[in-house]
Structure 1
Amino acid sequence: MNEIEEILKKRIVYEVNNMKSVDVNRNIVYKNTNDMKLKMDIYMPLEFDNNLKYPAVILVHGDGPAEILENIKDSGQYVSLGQLIAASGLIAVTFNHRSSYRLTRMRDVGDDIEDAIEYVKENAERLNINKDMVGLWALSAGVPYGVSVVLKNRQLNIKCLVSYYGYLDLQHRKEEFSEDITYEKLKEFSPLAYLINVKNEFPSLFIARAGLDHPVINRSIDNFIYKLLELNIDFDLYNHSNGEHGFDIYNDSIRTCEIIKLTIEFLRKHLGVA
């Protein structure tokens, strides 16, 4: 088994009772592209009642080569996150989006995320989802896309956002790329660029920062945080001083478990679960 296969098998280090027992509706096609069918899974809460509508959390995975992302929702990380959310009384939605091919197809990723959210909203009745109580949890390279889509299109009506160890600004990376990757394209998927006149309509926000992450990623997070403070916007910040990128699967520690537990409590609170 190669290193990539080993990583894809890793589950989050925090678990709750019976989370592996939740029911899952797998491989729902939410979008057809010229290249592939994009699919999602729906994780149902324990003791699911078909007569009820549940709040939902949509999980946005990171970027990478197309062959890895094709079935990334089936990786240990996203399966276990879906199980944890469902065992905590919420519906969890995991889905595959396309690769940006090293930022050359960024809009494909943004479009897929927006289409997945709209699919959940439009099919909420059939999926037993309360369409007015939907949150989004983005991780790693999924953060700039997921958070930007929500901040750009407020009609999606996402109640709360969770950002785990991901870029919250891409504009300062322009010098790393060719001329094909324009400043405007990076700005379109830089959450920092949307922090203008948003105070009264900003979704509840939870940011998890990995202290041992790449300095360029943490610089982007810090720039975003400084702007939030300048605008006097409420947000929850948790720094994992000894955390690596992907600490939820790599760092089995008290601090990791604390942050994941607090994330679930944040989602339950802002999505109306007692």
Structure 2
Amino acid sequence: MAVFVLVSGPFTGGWVWQEVAARLREAGSEAYGVTLSGMGEGGGVSTAASSGPAADVDLETHIEDVVGVIDGIAPGEEVVLVGHDYGIHPALGAADRRPERCARVVYLDAGMPADGDAALALVPDPSVAERAGAEGAGGSVPAPVGEEWGRWGSTAGLSAEDLARLDRLASPQPLRTLTQPLRLAGSPFDRPTTGVLCTADGAGISMVEMLVVSGPPQFRVLADPRVGFFELDTGHWPMLSAPGPLAEILLLAAADQGQRLTVPECAPPADTGTFLLDVPARPRERRGAVDLYLPEAEGPRPAVLFVHGGPVSPDQRPTPRDWPTFSGYGGHVAGLGAVGATLDHRLYGPDAYPTAAEDVAAAVELVRADPRVDGDRIALWFLSAGGLLAADWLATPPPWLRCVALNYPMLAPPPSWGAVPGRFRPVDAVGASSPPVVLTRAGLEHPVLQRTVDDFLMAAEKTGAEVDLVDVPHARHGFETLDHTEETREAVDRAVRAVLARLRG
């Protein structure tokens, strides 16, 4: 039977695993809930440095804690490392240092850190980053209390007693554990891997499938046959809200069970393939991070700026403005007499929306300042998770913004994206003063994203906002690359002409 080493997320220690560990032992496995250095005492395997001051504890300290537990397990035993939330960072670090001992890593409602990534990038509370800048990553982050736990992940399934237990036993998190980059010699996916997704926290297997098919290249590794997935219908702390089902899943994961993902041959990634319309080549000018597609027309013309989603990797090549979807839209709009504009913005993670918003604003000013553009007739077109960037423009639209278009958009951040600042919620921003909206809805959308669209449409109806809905019943997220059908071609043509009509009206 496997030996489970259970590494908890921020503010918690080995005590949080007590019920899960007991069930694993009842099934015949060994299980160790690790209390990492500086994270208090009680209920788990305490490490030698657990009483050290928080200022002396960093991610490397926690990695050595986990390595120490592994080294204490009898040789030949199959070690399964389970990392919850932040705990995946020390778990991956330990697996990298003891690759011969680690049979599997389980990501429990956790991100996908790579070499050089710090956990701070996924911290949902922006004040933590401010503290890190002010204190030079010294000190610690106070543990949440009461309703504050909901800012760190969905509390669905937790009873009042569970929340009281979190309040009573939680410890401050040493700040350097969040700011120190993870250093790995190999790939995190050099070994069998399991993802356990807590669906009440926003992500499920269908969303992962969407990322594998149409998202950034770093997600394609998740279609490796050594990677399996499970879902738990609960919130971010399943070891408290669903200890029995979680233990069953961990046993299945150790037995190499779990749903495998496949990438259909007919589903090229977003940065390859072709646009669904046959768009003749148009003149294109590159102006910094912005590309302009110019029409064959005299005088200043209205312009449409297309805004990609993400997050994307800063090292991704080609960059989004060179993807077929965006070069296709830019050229198509230019062929119809308007200026098409695309840009690369820095949406590198859920915490990067403010930076991406600055990039979009700068791109708008560059486009409006071009003498070939009528600066009083501008439309902004947001796709996928770029939809969150529409919130500012919907809430306080300038007079020259004639239309906002949205394709298969995310219109409120999922709970697991807690690092997104609160202002990026189009469902709260839309209102009677918003510019007209052209919303293209994919019928085969991921349920999490579809709920945000439904909420947006309800808010628009309640507030009297103008929305032109373009339905594509048989289309998937990213249909411009994935679904080349008469239905999708007609939907694109209808949406483009609806936007241009508002620019010319």
Q: TM-score, normalised by structure 2?
A: 0.45
Counterpart in the other structure of 1:91 = 339
Matched, 1:194 2:412: no
Counterpart in the other structure of 1:116 = 363
Counterpart in the other structure of 2:297 = 48
Counterpart in the other structure of 1:134 = 378
Residue-by-residue CA offset, 1:146-168 (whole Å, 9 max, x unaligned): x1131244237311011000111
Matched, 1:75 2:338: no
Counterpart in the other structure of 1:169 = 412
Counterpart in the other structure of 1:209 = 441
Give the Cα separation in 2 of the matches to 1:177 and 1:21: 38
- Local SS of the residue matching 1:208: strand
Change (3 A) 1:271 1:219: same
Cα distance, 1:70 vs structure 2: 7.0
Q: Is the 8 A contact 1:24 1:41 kept in 2?
A: yes
Counterpart in the other structure of 1:149 = 392
Q: Is the 8 A contact 1:135 1:161 kept in 2?
A: yes
Aligned-partner residue type, residue 137 of structure 1? W
Cα distance, 1:69 vs structure 2: 7.1
Moved over 4 A (4+): 3-6
Change (3 A) 1:6 1:141: closer
Give the Cα separation in 1 of the matches to 2:334 and 2:500: 11
Structure 1 segments unaligned to the other structure (5+ residues) = 30-38
Matched, 1:230 2:462: yes
Q: Is the 8 A contact 1:70 1:98 kept in 2?
A: no
Q: Is the 8 A contact 1:114 1:149 kept in 2?
A: no
Residue-by-residue CA offset, 1:155-197 (whole Å, 9 max, x unaligned): 3731101100011122xx22x246xx26xx1x211111213xx
Q: Among the aligned pairs, what percent are the same residue?
A: 23
Which structure is larger by alpha-carbon Rg, 1 or 2? 2
Change (3 A) 1:95 1:68: same
Aligned-partner residue type, residue 265 of structure 1? R
Matched, 1:107 2:354: yes
Partner residue of 1:24 out of 262, 279, 284:
284
**How many residues are matched?**
240
- Local SS of the residue matching 1:79: helix
Cα distance, 1:76 vs structure 2: 1.6
Q: Is the 8 A contact 1:113 1:149 kept in 2?
A: no
Q: Is the 8 A contact 2:324 2:481 kept in 1?
A: no
Cα distance, 1:206 vs structure 2: 0.6
Cα distance, 1:12 vs structure 2: 2.1
Structure 2 segments unaligned to the other structure (5+ residues) = 1-212, 218-267
CA RMSD of superposed structures (Å):
2.1
Matched, 1:13 2:276: yes
Give the Cα separation in 2 of the matches to 1:216 and 1:250: 20
- Local SS of the residue matching 1:258: helix
- Local SS of the residue matching 1:73: helix
| Worse-matched range after superposition: 210-219 or 103-112 | 103-112
Aligned-partner residue type, residue 370 of structure 2? A
Q: Is the 8 A contact 1:118 1:156 kept in 2?
A: no
